[in-house]
């Protein structure tokens, strides 16, 4: 039997306001406000799990991957929502998927 584990390599969160963005400190992660927009970049790796009868051996499944999320507060301005989508294009050196 074979499966995969997902290993997080890094996580970055940016707060978008007006025509600017700033990266949040790790202590602020998970604190999203309804008036604001955030861009989240998650770098991760898939690791294959090979289940032998004797051991659950893990094998590196290749390259690092990246995914982007845009968190839009219900009261965020339409301008900030649009700018956040454009910013993910500029961030995206890896051509990762974008999720809103």
Between CA 69 and CA 66 the distance in angstroms is 10
Compute mean pLDDT per 10 residues along the chain, 100 residues long, and list them: 78 86 89 91 82 60 80 89 75 58
pLDDT value for 1: 45
Torsion angle, CA of 50/51/55/59, rounded to 10 degrees? 10
pLDDT value for 54: 59
pLDDT value for 19: 73
In tens, the pLDDT along 67-91 reads: 888 899 999 988 888 877 777 676 6
pLDDT value for 17: 82
Question: 2-99 in CATH: which number?
Answer: 3.40.20.10
Q: Parse the chain into domains and list their residue ranges.
A: 2-99
């Amino acid at each position: 039997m074979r499966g995969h584990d997902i290993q997080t390599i890094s996580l970055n969160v940016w707060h978008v306001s007006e025509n600017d963005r700033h990266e949040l400190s790790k202590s602020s992660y998970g604190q999203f406000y309804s008036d604001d927009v955030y861009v989240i970049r998650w770098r991760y790796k898939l690791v294959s799990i090979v289940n032998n009868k004797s051991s659950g051996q893990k094998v590196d499944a290749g390259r690092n991957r990246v995914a982007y999320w845009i968190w839009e507060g219900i009261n965020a301005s339409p301008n900030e929502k649009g700018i956040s989508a454009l910013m993910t294009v500029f961030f995206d050196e890896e051509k990762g998927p974008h999720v809103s």
